[in-house]
Structure 1
Amino acid sequence: MDARASRRPESAVSTIPPDAGPTRRILHVFRAPVGGLFRHVVDLTRLQAAAGHAVGLVCDADTGGVRAEEMLADLAPQLALGVLRVPMRRNPDPGDLAALRAVARRAEAVGADVLHGHGAKGGLYARLAPVRRTGVLAPVRAYTPHGGSYNYRPGTLLHRLYMGVEGLLARRTDVFLFESAYVAGRHAAYVGPSSTVARAVTRIVHNGIGEAEFVPVVRAENPFDLVYVGELREAKGLPVLLEALAHLRASGRPLTLLMVGSGPDEAVLAARAAGLGLAGAVVFEPAQPIRPVLARGRVMVVPSYAESLPYVVLEAAAAAQPLVATDVGGIPEIFGAAAGDLVPPRNARALAEAIGRLLDEEPVRREARFRALSDAVRARFSMRNMGESVLSGYEAALRARASSGQASAAGRPGPASA
């Protein structure tokens, strides 16, 4: 499992007052219990449970490994509605029908008021599950994309296909809770407001982090020069990072890189590193909590080709970790006034030059720049605000559903209004 879903301190999440609205029964539906998406669900679960709501999870039975099992066991005391794990495939699959039925049965059994889908596959299940409940209003269908379908390159066949699917699913959505202005903009540009979609509640709810994450890390002895934390797959820009490291070493900088995480391209990346003559300069380690990893590197590098609002950038920025990242997705929203420091994606030479400049920067100036970024993140990415805004979105959609008088006999959600 990815390091970003590591255990959250209780003090970082128990921040919504228990009288923050009516008690709801909330079912979060998502595919893989890994990475930033899982961290988001874990944080929301703790926040919502602490505020007195009953919360449950439905996720894939086959991903996440031991680390996911540990995390889910740790979360169990906050899960009044329990955990259901069923097979879920990343790509469209005949098994999706069985998963849809399982989500519907679970929602009926626990009396869910809210089905909150996360990611493309979780969003599909939460919005299409045929929930039947006699004599009461249907559950509100909420959707947080976490990038997902919106990360495909515009103009490609897959992008057109998935935007078409998103357009159809939008008609089954009561509240959009976009995690970044970037994804909200993609939705507006490529899905577009139909008369149905325009009546849905639509809010931008940035990912939030806890106060404990703003404590600066204490640098370990003999740190690596560079560190990467996240999934080990090509879309994260790791071939470009390896090429940039090769450029830097060829120019006389004997830099080292620690890569922490797991993913489908680990073996390919290890072979690529060896082919570039980097076998002795790159160390791969499995996923683990991020803060101790940050302490083991002088500079964090995020070379992604596409992102939404990555927790790894929020966490590194909060800890005032020197950071080089690409200018993609919602990362400029995190950097704010410092977004001009971001690097164009898929450009190994530009990435190498940015790393070199940061390593050469006078230490006091570098520390001041990243302390300023940490302060800006603290002001704009509050975990409490995230939790309250999500609950507020549910309530707006529930009020709209109640006012429309739509019952749940067929389990079909109608449009909501802000």
Structure 2
Amino acid sequence: MALPHLRPLDTVSDPGADEQAPRPAPARRQRILHVFRAPVGGLFRHVLDVARLQIAAGHEVGVFCDASTGGERAAAVLAELAPRLALGLTRVPMRRNPHPLDLSAIAGLYRLAGRIRPTVLHGHGSKGGLFARIAVMPRGLADPVRAYTPHGGSFNYRPGTPLHRVYMAAEAALTRRTDIFLFESEYIAGRYRTYVGETDRLVRIVHNGIDASEFAPIQRAPDPFDLVYIGELRDAKGVPVLFDALARLRNAFGRRLTLLVVGSGPDEATLKARADSLGLGAAIRFEPPQPIRAALCRGRVMVVPSFAESLPYVVLEAAAAAQPLVATTVGGIPEIFGPAAGALVPPRDVEALALAVLRKLDQPEEACRDEAAGLSAFIRARFSMQRMADGVLAGYAAAHEQRGDIQPVPGAPAPSR
């Protein structure tokens, strides 16, 4: 999908490139503070991957995020990363929606920025994007590049609703405080253009990327479930439609399929009650979040019934591992499937989802294996973690150049704190 724009739109993830493509020249050293709210899900993974590769490339990195979400798992991951964060790990209370606590978080970011003097403030998600762009620097300090990666966020609200109008107006106002948009999918870039408008800011699409190790084949567990769902337990993920499709297959086709549901979220109790009301209580097992490969190996087919997505890591990871997939044609999922996007099903369509699940389960083994291998090869060529990190750094450099900033050369002493 080509997007009209006022300045060149650089698509960093080149579908024709491979892992042996020439690497860009070493970037000038940056002092990068990643700002986001919840240390959970794909957004958190993206920040961790980018931060680790930026550190490995010689840049100084810090993290500013919420202190009240993520639980023990996030705390352990952040504790492991913290010794490598030259600009530190700062966690303060944040809320998902606008809240008076936002003022306290912004004040904390102001104080932190005054101490660490970042050259880049990179906001992720709606709340991180707000904080990174609205925060001012103390008097006398150079203003950092303000980068923004939405990860869906406010762009996934249903158009025409009051909240969508409010958030799009806020995005338009914050554009003036943005040096570069680093959209993670063409889909979200298109939503920006449609609902916010054209921009004279720098725009790049830097697809999420995964590591070469994630292409290792899945070793199927004995006696697997027919289907597996991995993700948040909330309405926008389409899990009720998946349950309705299972009931449809049972009642109309006599197929008593089993489903493993791995995840947590605000609608967990409601979903369990819905499964029972449909007579599926014995066919569905709920388990808490766990490493994706441990869950994938326990299901023959993974189902992604989402109503809205950006560029979901769970789909990238499953496709890379050659896991058979049934997914909806929403957000950036068609970008992940590429030439195979015709197999995707419309969201909220119980009948279409049920038939797609049936086709995939009944597909001859060799054909299923070949389709999965073809999608895995497409992912390998297009969605590299290193290319993602290089694209982000190239975006920062372009923004500095656009502003005429003079930056220290690699290895030069960092500004004092």
Normalising by structure 2, we get a TM-score of: 0.90
Q: Which of 372, 375, 395 matches 1:373?
A: 375
- Secondary structure of the equivalent of 2:370? helix
Shift of 1:104: 1.6
1:280 aligns with 2:286: no
Residue in 2 aligned with 1:210? Answer: 211
Residue matched to 1:98: 104
State whether residues 258 and 285 of structure 1, in contact with CA within 8 Å, keep that contact through their aligned partners in structure 2: yes
Residue 228 of structure 2: aligned partner: 227
Give the Cα separation in 2 of the matches to 1:264 and 1:77. Answer: 33
- Equivalent pair of 1:314/1:377 in contact (CA under 8 Å): yes
Deviation of 1:161 after TM superposition, in Å, equals 1.2
State the alpha-carbon separation in 2 of the partners of residues 48 and 190 from structure 1: 32
The more displaced of 69-78 and 349-358 is 69-78
Between the aligned partners of 1:243 and 1:75, the Cα distance in structure 2 is 42
**8 Å CA contact 1:31, 1:59 repeated in 2:** yes
Aligned to 2:258: 256
Return the offset for 1:19.
Answer: 7.0
| Structure 2 residue 39 is matched with structure 1 residue 33 | yes
1:137 Cα deviation after fit = 2.5
Q: CA deviation at 1:233?
A: 0.5
Deviating 4+ runs (over 6 angstroms): 15-19
Q: Once structures 1 and 2 are overlaid, which stretch shifts more, 33-42 or 105-114?
A: 105-114
Q: CA deviation at 1:380?
A: 0.5
Unmatched tracts of structure 1, length 5 or more: 1-14, 406-418
Answer yes or no: is the 8 Å Cα contact 2:24–2:390 preserved in 1.
no
- 1:178 counterpart letter in structure 2: F
Letter in 2 for 1:236: K
Q: Distance in 1 between matches of 2:96 and 2:192?
A: 21
After TM superposition, list the pairs within 5 Å mapping 1:204-353 onto structure 2.
204-250=205-251, 251-353=253-355
Aligned counterparts of 1:75 and 1:363: Cα–Cα separation in 2: 42
Which residue of the other structure, out of 347, 360, 363, is the alignment partner of 1:361? 363
CA distance in 1, matches of 2:165, 2:97: 16
* From 143, 146, 151, the counterpart of 1:146: 151
- The correspondence for 1:59, drawn from 53, 65, 71, is 65
Q: Which amino acid aligns with 1:130?
A: V
Distance 2:30 2:349 in 1: 47
Instruction: State how far apart, in whole Å, the 2-side matches of 1:344 and 1:150 are.
Output: 19
Instruction: Give the number of equivalent residue pairs.
Output: 386
Deviation string, structure 1 residues 260-303 (Cα, Å, up to 9, x no partner): 11111111111111111111111111111101110010000000
Q: Aligned partner of 1:209: which letter?
A: I
**1:16–1:387 Cα contact (<8 Å) kept:** no
- Please state whether the residue corresponding to 1:267 is helix, strand or coil: helix
The structure-2 alpha-carbon separation of the partners of 1:25 and 1:16, relative to structure 1 and needing over 3 Å to count, comes to farther
1:144-203 deviation per Cα after TM superposition (whole angstroms, max 9, x unaligned)? 00001111112222211111110001110001000000000111111112xxx31x2110
**What is the CA–CA distance in structure 2 between the aligned matches of 1:126 and 1:35, rounded to whole Å?**
20
Q: Distance in 2 between matches of 1:291 and 1:75?
A: 22
Pairing of 1:65-84 with structure 2 (within 5 A) = 65-84=71-90
What is the CA–CA distance in structure 1 between the aligned matches of 2:402 and 2:365, rounded to whole Å?
A: 54
Letter aligned with residue 284 of structure 1:
F
> How much is the aligned-residue C-alpha RMSD, in angstroms?
1.7
- Asked if the contact 1:137–1:401 (Cα under 8 Å) also holds between the matched residues in 2, the reply is no
Match of 1:132 among 103, 118, 138: 138
Change (3 A) 1:311 1:63: same
Letter in 2 for 1:241: L
Query: What amino acid is the match of 2:184?
Result: E
The amino acid across from 1:155 in the alignment is G
Indicate conservation of the 8 Å contact 1:16/1:388, yes or no.
Answer: no
Deviation at 1:17, TM superposition (A): 7.8
Say yes or no: does 1:170 pair with 2:166. no
Letter in 2 for 1:370: A
The answer on whether the counterparts of 1:19 and 1:51 sit within 8 Å (CA) in structure 2 is no
CA gap of 1:403–1:56, structure 2 versus 1, over 3 A, is closer
Pick from 111, 117, 129: which aligns with 2:123? 117
- Whether 1:160 and 2:165 are equivalent positions in the alignment is yes
The answer to whether the 8 A contact 1:17-1:51 is kept is no
| Distance of 1:17 and 1:381 partners within structure 2 | 15
Q: Shift of the alpha carbon at 1:404? A: 11
Pairwise CA distance, 1:402:
2.8
Q: Structure 2: which 5+ runs fail to align?
A: 1-20, 408-417
Q: In structure 2, how many angstroms separate the alpha carbons of the residues matched to 1:383 and 1:133? A: 37
Q: C-alpha distance in 1, partners of 2:383/2:23?
A: 19
Distance 1:231 1:403 in 2: 42
Amino acid at match of 2:250: R
Is the partner of 1:228 in helix, strand or coil? strand
2:213 counterpart letter in structure 1:
A
Q: 1:18 to 1:288 in 2, by over 3 A?
A: farther
Give, in whole Å, the separation in 2 of the partners of 1:204 and 1:52.
Answer: 24
Letter in 2 for 1:146: H
